[in-house]
């Protein structure tokens, strides 16, 4: 009888794990992936979805089985067995979730590091420059009102910021109820974000009034844009196309309408866009 | 034990202050049972108000365009919906209603430790609630910045409504603190001589843990809201970046209360379920000691996870790492509780009545919400779905699928104690089926919507999301309809229901060892000493009549 129980348990556990992995890897709940972060995100999602399916299905099966198998029969007024606990069982169901949670934590930390989320954000020479450029590009009145001390440099906050090399800097200004994108390379200002495929983009973001958030679901990235605290967000587009840019932080009555697009161009198309929109070229 | 029961302290005041009959429910009664039912009915009234507001939200979202109400009205509605449901329905009912009714029974007392404070705590709620609702009509505009009231938005939306909102939340927070002080004092100091802490029913432990959270965290919310009101009224600059203030500091202080607030809503529900499951499965609560320790672990961890609401707010990397790990670990004590409940059911003799249906619905919904909660705790995962409908779906699985299901389970379980009559089971099952289907239709699709690009708190959205939003709105409609069998059941049963007798479930916890409804003194004689509140199956041979229902020496 004990052997039968052990075999049944092992079979059930195997079936559960197989189901979880099948569902987690085969069922796609996510939109198309269009940045290097999205690939890392999706592998984390698959792992969490698999583990979640196993847990939920396991508990659902035990619950429904108990309700059917141990239902009170008509006329049975007796109590169940006076089982008050079981220490080995308690240890098992403390230890297994602890190990699973620890694994998830370490794995997601690894993913986050791969995205560049753990990169230090201390101010260095480059940041001084970057923020000075943001300051210059955003309305001067607003930055004075914020009252930052330019001489000592300012701190950049949060976000994902890993990438060295040929980074395309874009200054993002968020206000009620629009995003404005300014390209220091070429002095272009645009209501839409245009980026070339494969080149890392660094968004340096400021808010003029209330908190907004920059979100592109296909990039799996979001960063609050905070008045008084410049934030940064880096990504590398990996799929050409047009994707929505959505404000994700309640910012007022027209919050739901605060949307624009990000267009990921093939590199040649991007150059054409820059040339068509650069004020320096149109003037000469 | 030197603390006297309130009755001994005030022999001549207790009785004259209590009008007879139904009028006592509208009086400044000091009877904990009256106060508990006052909390319950008042909370249910605000549940209907919050439900109407939810209906308005789902009507607006049935179409992609903002075409049902003006956009700023929509923001008022979502702000009021969140505030009403949290501060006027769930917190007062799982704490105030069931806590006041049950805790004195469970510790063997005739009332709460501070009956007058108790009545004051209740009577702060109706005026605060009416103040909040009336701001929409009287102040010109209600608060529009969400229940989180993040500055600088809350500094720029109409000031009068925001100030009324702050005032109302301060009153409700004060009421909650008064209640918590009372619960701590009652559980620790008013226990019947001979009753040890580790013999108390689990709901006492849940309320002790919850009350510690209330006392430790609610003052922080009060502090930050007072500073916010200074920014609005006196134009100080605590949270105003134009005056050198810092908006992220507000978020830290706000969530230092508002994350524990989740546990203030779910821990009492955990306690109530721990009372209901053993009775209807005729088995002792499995793993009593680990259940107690896991409550205390949740209390401790609940205080150090608040910044997981701020993963996109520019928090430093080390902080994200710490709060990811701390949040993930809450899954361990929470998981212990769910495994213990399943083990309580296992091998029992389960009566699948309305109370059990809602309890099992709670287990499924909460496990689902807990799993999505673990995903949200992971920084890289959260960065994509933060502030989207994925989060809306997640927390409704916790607070509605979790706590509100438990409130309904508790209503079916204790209604015979409150009134002496049983609720109708057919209507109860109908209520459960409608609620369960409506709830899952309403909130399950929202996870997909969030993953695919629908932010929360919007009155308009991409037309590609309209099908699932319509499914969600239909679910909300079914949830609204599900209230009808409940209302009919409660009203009709109160008048014509089957008499329940004193102990229809043959339960062993002390509130059942007296008449239904109980006398003002709770027991006509001395309070019984119940050292084994879950001692099912220990006194066989079988038969409910063989249970030790008489007071033990």
- Per-domain residue ranges for chain B? 6-546
The predicted model gives A28-34 an average pLDDT of 94
* Interface contact B338, partner A, CB < 8 A: yes
Determine how β-strand A259-265 pairs with β-strand A193-196.
Answer: parallel
Instruction: Kindly report the nearest CA distance between residue B139 and chain A, in angstroms.
Output: 18
Residues of A in contact with B150 (CB under 8 A): 210-211, 249-250
Determine how β-strand A168-175 pairs with β-strand A201-207.
Answer: parallel
Cβ atoms within 10 Å of B25's Cβ, excluding its own: 14
Provide the token pair at B447.
């996870």
Angle between helices B32-60 and B115-123 (to 10 degrees): 20
- CB-based contacts of A74, cutoff 8 Å, min separation 6: none
In chain B, residues 247-276 whose CB comes closer than 8 Å to chain A: 247-248
Residue A139's pLDDT is 40
Query: Does A227 contact B241 at a Cβ distance shorter than 8 Å?
Result: yes
Residues of B in contact with A158 (CB under 8 A): 312-316
Instruction: Kindly report the nearest CA distance between residue A107 and chain B, in angstroms.
Output: 9
CATH number of B6-546: 1.20.210.10
Block means of pLDDT (10 residues each) for chain B, 553 residues, are 47 54 83 95 96 96 93 94 96 96 95 95 96 84 92 92 95 96 96 94 97 96 96 94 92 94 96 96 94 96 93 85 91 95 94 96 96 94 94 96 96 94 95 97 96 95 95 96 95 87 92 92 89 83 42 38
* Interface contact B388, partner A, CB < 8 A: yes
Nearest to B205 by CA among B184, B175, B177: B184
Query: Percent of chain A scored above 90 by pLDDT?
Result: 60
Q: How confident is the model at residue A162 (pLDDT cuts 50, 70, 90)?
A: low
* Interface contact B504, partner A, CB < 8 A: no
* Total-model pTM: 0.91
Residue A283's pLDDT is 47
Ramachandran quadrant class, A165 (left: phi over 0; alpha: psi -120 to 50; beta: rest): left
- Give the Cα separation of A209 and B62 in Å (integer): 31
User: B351 exposed, middle or buried (CB, 10 Å; 0-12, 13-18, 19+)?
Assistant: middle
Instruction: Kindly report the nearest CA distance between residue B95 and chain A, in angstroms.
Output: 27
Cβ atoms within 10 Å of A179's Cβ, excluding its own: 24
- What's the mean pLDDT when you consider all of chain A? 84
Residue A135's pLDDT is 45
Instruction: Kindly report the nearest CA distance between residue A280 and chain B, in angstroms.
Output: 34
Q: What is the dihedral of CA B213, B214, B220, B221, to 10 degrees?
A: 120
CA distances A23 to A18, A29, A48, A57, Å, are 9, 11, 11, 11
Provide the token pair at A17.
């794990």
- Give the Cα separation of B115 and B121 in Å (integer): 10
* Interface contact B371, partner A, CB < 8 A: yes
B61, B152, B314: best to mutate for the A interface, most A CBs within 10 A: B314
Count of helix runs (H) and strand runs (E) in chain B:
20, 0
Could you tell me how many residues make up chain B? 553
- CB-based contacts of B261, cutoff 8 Å, min separation 6: B86, B91, B217
Query: Does A48 contact B375 at a Cβ distance shorter than 8 Å?
Result: yes
DSSP string for B512-552: GSS-SSPPTTSSSSSPP--S-TT-TTTTPSS-GGGS--SPP
**Are the C-beta atoms of A198 and A267 separated by less than 8 Å?**
yes
- Give the Cα separation of A72 and B349 in Å (integer): 4
A73, A90, A100, A142: best to mutate for the B interface, most B CBs within 10 A: A90
Instruction: Kindly report the nearest CA distance between residue B370 and chain A, in angstroms.
Output: 9
Query: Does A41 contact B380 at a Cβ distance shorter than 8 Å?
Result: yes
CB pairs under 8 A between A and B: 293
pLDDT tops 60 at residue A152: no
DSSP string for B469-520: HHHHHHHHHHHHHHHHHHHHHHHHHHHHPPB--S-TT---SGGGSS-SSPPT
A263, β-bridge pairs = A194, A242
Q: Which domains does chain A have, with CATH numbers?
A: 2-71+88-115 (no CATH), 125-283 (2.60.40.420)
**CA A253, B152, B76: angle at the middle one, nearest 5?**
35
Query: Does B379 contact A250 at a Cβ distance shorter than 8 Å?
Result: no
Query: Does A115 contact B380 at a Cβ distance shorter than 8 Å?
Result: yes
Nearest to B66 among A109, A228, A256 (CB): A256
A84, A95, A147, A257: best to mutate for the B interface, most B CBs within 10 A: A84
**Are the C-beta atoms of B37 and B410 separated by less than 8 Å?**
no
| Residue indicated by tokens 């994350």 | B259
Query: Does A79 contact B282 at a Cβ distance shorter than 8 Å?
Result: yes
| Residue indicated by tokens 């930050």 | B224
Residue B179's pLDDT is 96
Residues of B in contact with A255 (CB under 8 A): 75, 455, 457-458
Cβ atoms within 10 Å of B415's Cβ, excluding its own: 24
Residues of A in contact with B321 (CB under 8 A): 109, 118
Query: Does B313 contact A226 at a Cβ distance shorter than 8 Å?
Result: yes
Residues of B in contact with A222 (CB under 8 A): 312, 383-384, 386-387
Instruction: Kindly report the nearest CA distance between residue B105 and chain A, in angstroms.
Output: 23
Residue B27's pLDDT is 85
Query: Does A98 contact B371 at a Cβ distance shorter than 8 Å?
Result: no
**Are the C-beta atoms of B388 and B457 separated by less than 8 Å?**
no
Residue B475's pLDDT is 97
Q: How confident is the model at residue A113 (pLDDT cuts 50, 70, 90)?
A: confident
Nearest to A94 among B332, B349, B536 (CB): B332
Ramachandran quadrant class, A106 (left: phi over 0; alpha: psi -120 to 50; beta: rest): alpha
- CB-based contacts of B386, cutoff 8 Å, min separation 6: A213, A222, A248, B311, B312, B376
Query: Does A90 contact B248 at a Cβ distance shorter than 8 Å?
Result: no
ipTM for the assembly: 0.89
Q: Which residue has better confidence, A282 or B332?
A: B332
Residue B56's SS3 state is helix
Could you tell me how many residues make up chain A? 284
Closest chain A residue to B321, measured at CA: A109
Give backbone dihedrals phi and psi of B421, rounded to 5 degrees, phi first.
-130, 145
Closest chain B residue to A256, measured at CA: B458
A210, A216, A223: best to mutate for the B interface, most B CBs within 10 A: A210
- Give the Cα separation of A259 and B455 in Å (integer): 11
* b/e burial code for range B225-243 (CB count within 10 A of at least 16 → b): bebbbebbeeeebbbbbbb
- CB-based contacts of A129, cutoff 8 Å, min separation 6: none
- Give the Cα separation of A104 and B332 in Å (integer): 13
Residue A115's pLDDT is 83
Angle between helices B32-60 and B98-107 (to 10 degrees): 150
Residue B17's pLDDT is 55
Nearest to A224 among B313, B321, B331 (CB): B313
Q: Is the peptide bond before A37 cis (omega within 30 degrees of 0)?
A: no
Q: What is the dihedral of CA A79, A59, B410, B491, to 10 degrees?
A: -110
Instruction: Kindly report the nearest CA distance between residue A276 and chain B, in angstroms.
Output: 30
Residues of A in contact with B285 (CB under 8 A): 84
Query: Does B339 contact A229 at a Cβ distance shorter than 8 Å?
Result: no
Provide the token pair at B448.
């997909």
Query: Does A98 contact B350 at a Cβ distance shorter than 8 Å?
Result: no
- CB-based contacts of B100, cutoff 8 Å, min separation 6: B32, B33, B35, B36, B39, B112, B118, B179
Nearest to B312 among A70, A213, A229 (CB): A213
Query: Which H or E element spans position A264?
Result: strand A259-265
- CB-based contacts of A141, cutoff 8 Å, min separation 6: none
């Amino acid at each position: 009888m004990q052997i039968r129980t052990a075999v049944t348990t092992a079979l059930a556990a195997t079936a559960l794990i197989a189901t979880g992995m099948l569902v987690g890897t085969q069922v796609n709940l996510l939109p198309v992936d269009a940045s290097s972060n999205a690939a890392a995100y999706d592998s984390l999602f698959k792992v969490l979805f698999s583990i979640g399916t196993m847990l939920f299905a396991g508990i659902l099966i035990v619950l429904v089985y108990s309700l059917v198998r141990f239902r009170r029969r008509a006329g049975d007024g007796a109590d169940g067995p006076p089982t008050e606990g079981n220490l080995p069982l308690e240890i098992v169901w403390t230890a297994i979730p602890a190990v699973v949670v620890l694994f998830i934590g370490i794995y997601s930390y690894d993913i986050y590091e791969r995205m560049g989320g753990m990169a230090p954000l201390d101010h260095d020479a480059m940041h001084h420059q970057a923020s000075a450029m943001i300051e210059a590009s955003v309305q001067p009145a607003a930055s004075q009102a914020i009252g930052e001390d330019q001489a000592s440099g300012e701190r950049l906050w949060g976000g994902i910021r890993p990438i060295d090399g040929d980074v395309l800097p874009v200054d993002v200004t968020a206000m009620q109820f629009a995003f404005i994108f300014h390209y220091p390379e070429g002095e272009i200002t645009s209501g839409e974000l245009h980026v070339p495929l494969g080149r890392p983009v660094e968004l340096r973001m400021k808010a003029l009034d209330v908190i907004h958030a920059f979100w592109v679901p296909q990039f799996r990235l979001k960063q609050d844009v905070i008045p008084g605290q410049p934030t940064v967000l880096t990504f590398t587009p990996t799929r050409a196309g047009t994707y929505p840019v959505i404000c994700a932080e309640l910012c007022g009555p027209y919050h739901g309408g605060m949307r624009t697009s990000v267009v990921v161009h093939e590199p040649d198309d991007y150059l054409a866009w820059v040339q068509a929109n650069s004020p320096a070229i149109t003037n000469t | 034990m030197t603390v006297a029961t309130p009755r001994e302290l005030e022999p001549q005041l207790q009785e004259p202050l209590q009008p007879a009959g139904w009028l006592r429910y509208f009086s400044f009664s000091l009877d904990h049972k009256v106060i508990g039912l006052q909390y319950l009915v008042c909370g249910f009234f605000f549940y209907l108000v919050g439900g109407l507001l939810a209906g308005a939200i789902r009507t607006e979202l049935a179409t992609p365009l903002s075409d049902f109400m003006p956009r700023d009205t929509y923001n008022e509605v979502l702000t009021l919906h969140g505030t009403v449901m949290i501060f006027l329905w769930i917190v007062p009912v799982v704490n105030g209603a069931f806590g006041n009714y049950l805790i004195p029974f469970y510790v063997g007392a005739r009332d709460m430790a501070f009956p007058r404070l108790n009545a004051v705590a209740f009577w702060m709620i109706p005026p605060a609630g009416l103040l909040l609702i009336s701001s929409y009509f009287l102040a010109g505009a209600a608060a529009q910045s969400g229940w989180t009231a993040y500055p600088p938005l809350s500094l720029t939306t109409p000031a009068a409504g925001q100030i009324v909102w702050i005032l109302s939340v301060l009153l409700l927070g004060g009421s909650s603190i008064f209640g918590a002080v009372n619960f701590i004092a009652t559980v620790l100091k008013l226990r019947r001589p001979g009753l040890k802490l580790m013999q108390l029913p689990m709901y006492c432990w849940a309320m002790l843990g919850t009350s510690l959270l209330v006392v430790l965290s609610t003052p922080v919310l009060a502090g930050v809201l007072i500073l916010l009101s200074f920014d609005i009224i006196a134009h100080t600059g605590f949270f105003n970046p134009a005056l050198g203030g810092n908006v992220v500091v507000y978020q830290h202080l706000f969530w230092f209360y508002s994350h524990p607030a989740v546990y203030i809503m779910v821990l009492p529900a955990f306690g109530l379920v721990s009372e209901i499951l053993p009775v209807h499965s005729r088995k002792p609560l499995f793993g009593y000691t680990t259940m107690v320790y896991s409550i205390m672990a949740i209390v401790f961890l609940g205080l150090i996870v608040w910044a997981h609401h701020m993963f996109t707010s520019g928090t430093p990397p080390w902080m994200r790492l710490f709060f990811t790990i701390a949040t993930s670990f809450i899954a361990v004590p929470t998981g212990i509780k769910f495994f213990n409940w399943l083990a309580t059911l296992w091998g029992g003799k389960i009566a699948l009545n309305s109370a059990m249906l809602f309890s099992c619905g709670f287990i499924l919904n909460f496990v689902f919400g807990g799993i999505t909660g673990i995903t949200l705790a992971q920084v890289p995962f959260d960065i994509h779905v933060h502030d989207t409908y994925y989060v809306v779906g997640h927390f409704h699985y916790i607070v509605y699928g979790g706590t509100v299901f438990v409130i309904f389970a508790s209503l079916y379980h204790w209604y015979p104690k409150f009134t002496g009559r049983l609720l109708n089971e057919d209507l109860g099952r109908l209520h459960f089926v409608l609620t369960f289907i409506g709830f899952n239709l309403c909130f399950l699709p929202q996870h997909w919507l969030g993953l695919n690009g629908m932010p929360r708190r919007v009155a308009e959205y991409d037309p590609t999301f309209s099908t699932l939003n319509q499914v969600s709105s239909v679910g909300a409609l079914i949830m609204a309809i599900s209230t009808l069998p409940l209302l009919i059941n409660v009203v009709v049963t109160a008048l014509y229901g089957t008499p329940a007798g004193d102990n229809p479930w043959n339960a062993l916890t002390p509130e059942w060892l007296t008449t239904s409804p109980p006398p003002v003194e709770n027991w006509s004689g001395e309070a019984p000493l119940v050292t084994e509140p879950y001692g099912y199956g220990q006194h066989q041979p079988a038969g409910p009549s063989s249970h030790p229902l008489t007071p033990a020496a």
